[in-house]
Amino acid sequence: MSSTLQERIPPALRERFAPVLPSIVVVAGVFMPWVQVDPNHEGPVITIYYPGMGSGLELPHGIALLVAAILLSVLSLVGHRLRRGELVVGLGGALAVGWFIQSWQGAFIPAPGAWVTLIGCLFLAAVGAGGLVVARRRTKTAV
């Protein structure tokens, strides 16, 4: 009689922890550098420090994503999951980070933190959308 991990974890607990992993990915990405000198760049590079070279916390959208991801996780863990909020923060964050990534060219390129944050935002949007679909199916079957 073998049971999978999914069968052993109660659905209510899975529901509470669903946005936590994507939020951890977003937070990890925010703490990483978002801009770096292109390692393939030949020639001189000006000595300048752009916001984001230290971490995403040097950028307004990095701070906003950090606060939103932590808030969504905490609310979910206490039982007030905001699926639409997860979807909006995930899509909005993905758009902002995607724009940021596209804006760098030449001697400076996006660093791994921007890419990790983008993946976390897309993951958060997917979890939020999936949660909305599951919740809608539950209400249709309950009626």
Average pLDDT of span 23-36? 94
Q: What is the mean pLDDT of the chain?
A: 86
pLDDT, position 1: 45
Mind listing the pLDDT tens digit for each residue in 106-142? 778 899 999 999 999 999 999 999 888 877 777 767 6
pLDDT at 103 over 80: yes
pLDDT at 7 over 90: no
pLDDT at 84 over 50: yes
pLDDT, position 9: 66
Average pLDDT of span 66-85? 91
With a CB cutoff of 8 Å and minimum separation 6, the contacts of 26 are 65, 66, 69, 93, 117, 120, 121, 124
The pLDDT-based confidence of 104 (bands split at 50, 70, 90) is: confident
Average pLDDT of span 40-63? 83
Our CA dihedral for 69, 70, 76, 80, rounded to 10 degrees, sits at -90
Rounded CA separation 2/63 (Å) = 44
Rounded CA separation 118/122 (Å) = 6
Answer whether 0.75 is exceeded by the pTM.
Answer: yes
The pLDDT-based confidence of 32 (bands split at 50, 70, 90) is: very high
pLDDT, position 6: 62
Angle (CA) 38-102-91 rounded to 5° is 130
